[in-house]
Amino acid sequence: MVGHAFMGTVHSQAWRTVNHAFDLPAQVELAAVCGRDHERVAAAAQRLGWDTHLTDWRELVARDDIDVIDICTPGDSHAKIAIAALEAGKHVLCEKPLANSVEEARAMVAAADKARQAGVRSACGFNYRRVPALSLLRNMIEGGRLGRIRHVRAAYLQDWITDPDFPLVWRLRKEVAGSGALGDIGAHIIDLAQYLTGDRLTGVCGLSETFVKERPLPGAPTGGLSAQGADGAPRGEVTVDDASLFLGRFAGGALASFEATRFATGRRNALRLEINGSLGSAAFDLERLNELEFLDATQPVAEQGFRRILVTEPEHPYMAAWWPPGHIIGYEHTFTHEVRDLVEAIVSERDPRPSFADALQVQLVLDAVERSAAAGSAWTPVPAGDDLPATA
């Protein structure tokens, strides 16, 4: 594993747990974790349960005893690590968004395509596909339970930077993070919208805003080149979007709206989806991830209503591995499901999903939104990558 911050921590929990929850055809070993700072990565290895630790990801890629590389770094290093790992014959799990640009993403897809011919697998970490409620919804839509899709409305609402004195962390710097709310959380709802509908966005129009233009530098010494806040602390420019909104059309004719923001006061992690079809509708909120709201419009009108399916039955995706009905699971379980599916795909020599190509398709939408926002919200077509999700 490369990286041991938030994503590294939760991935570690998944790798440690997966063999205890699922009957897998292989036994996972946590071989080595890699980080830039020797002291911090040593502590992380200890805390997170990794056998060894390193400070150079190239050494990790070079090791013979390692089969899978899990990339948990910021987006600016995804491409180089992933491509090197694939070339070294390592299976790769890469955190989302796949890359910081379409160009990088295309290079990664090319590397993945080449590696695949040698039986080397790759996947992108859109973990919310593995929320059981959303896996269930995917199955229901695929099975025709919602009929023809007319509307997708998706919002990912957070509020962790509403305080203008929240510091200028790496996620607020374009050169590291690629973009702000759009790439970080907007990427999730784009991927989910395309995954759930089995369709792809063909065009978008959007707008973005950075409400707080400058923020205190994290741990910066007083003085320097940067602007200063009222308290004299040095400030730097926020170079990413605080919020991005866009509208879109799907190939199959559905209309969609998307919103990604870090300024939705009181909404801590509200990834909300609603999908309306000719035969039914569904709604979801990540803050209640064990629940799926579903309306079956084929039932008698007097008994219709959105029902709260508590997605904790053994009949539900992934849930036979966990607790009795009504005993809920949490955020981290989505990663356990992700690595379970990855291990199963690798051992059975299948390509895991979402593939790098799936993730490129997300990247193409992100890119189109940014270009639209820069061009006065003009309608901007989204090109198709090589390996499209099937059209519903």
Q: Looking only at residues 90 through 119 of this chain, which bind a second copy when binding is defined by CB under 8 A?
A: none
Nearest to 205 by CA among 383, 367, 380: 380
Question: Cβ 220 to a second copy, closest distance in Å?
Answer: 23
Nearer to a second copy by Cβ, of 219 and 326: the residue is: 326
Please compute, for residue 196, the number of CA atoms within 13 A of its CA located in the half-sphere on the CB side: 35
Which is nearer to a second copy, 143 or 223 (by Cβ)? 143
Among the listed ranges 55-63, 92-100, 258-266, 345-353, the one in contact with a second copy (CB under 8 A) is 258-266
Interface positions, 331-360, toward a second copy (CB under 8 A): 331-333
Name residue, tokens 């990794």. Answer: 50
Tell me which residues in 43-72 interact with a second copy (CB under 8 A): 47-49
Does residue 288 touch a second copy according to CB under 8 A?
yes
Cα–Cα distances (Å) from 342 to 68, 103, 124, 197, in that order, read 10, 26, 10, 22
- Cβ of residue 58: shortest distance to a second copy, in angstroms? 27
Q: Which residue type occupies 256?
A: A
Cβ(131)–Cβ(288) under 8 Å?
A: no
Contact between 192 and a second copy per CB under 8 A: no
Distance (Å, whole) CA 44 – CA 6: 11
By CB under 8 A, is residue 371 in contact with a second copy? no
Cα distance between the two ends of the chain: 36
* Choice between 304 and 391, CB closer to a second copy: 304
Burial class (CB in 10 A: 0-12, 13-18, 19+), 172: buried
The upper half-sphere exposure of residue 19, i.e. CA atoms within 13 Å in the direction of its Cβ, equals 9
Given 102, 176, 220, 255, the residue binding a second copy (CB under 8 A):
255
Q: Which residues contact 143 (CB under 8 A, 6 or more apart)?
A: none
Q: Which of 36, 327, 350, 371 binds a second copy (CB under 8 A)?
A: 327
The window from 107-115, 122-130, 285-293, 342-350 that contacts a second copy (CB under 8 A) reads 285-293
Nearer to a second copy, 224 or 314 (CB): 314
Should residue 260 be labelled a site residue for a second copy when binding is judged by CB under 8 A? no
Site for a second copy in 5-34 (CB under 8 A): 6, 10, 12-13, 16-17, 20-21
By beta-carbon proximity to a second copy, the closer residue of 170 and 379 is 379
Cβ neighbours around 64 below 10 Å, total: 7
Does 316 contact a second copy by CB under 8 A? yes
336 φ, ψ to 5°? -60, -40
- Alpha-carbon distance of 332 to 131, in angstroms, equals 10
Query: Should residue 247 be labelled a site residue for a second copy when binding is judged by CB under 8 A?
Result: yes
Q: How many residues lie near a second copy (CB under 8 A)? A: 93
C-beta of 67: minimal distance to a second copy in Å? Answer: 21
Q: In angstroms, what is the minimal distance from the CB of 329 to a second copy? A: 4
Nearest to a second copy of 111, 152 (CB atom): 152
Strand order, beta sheet including 234-237: 214-216, 234-237, 227-228
Give least dist CB 273 to a second copy, A: 13
Binding mask 140-159 for a second copy (x = CB under 8 A): x---------xx-x-x-xxx
Q: Which stretch binds a second copy (CB under 8 A): 31-39, 93-101, 318-326, 359-367?
A: 318-326
Report if residue 166 touches a second copy, rule: CB under 8 A.
no
Footprint on residues 202-221 left by a second copy (CB under 8 A): 205-207, 209, 211
Q: Which two tokens stand for residue 34?
A: 């890699």
Residues 6+ apart with CB under 8 A from 163: none
Task: Give me the helices (H) in 117-267, please.
Answer: 132-142, 174-177, 181, 187-197
193 binds a second copy (CB under 8 A): no
- The reply on whether position 330 binds a second copy by CB under 8 A is yes
Query: Hunting for tokens 């690590």 — which residue is that?
Result: 81
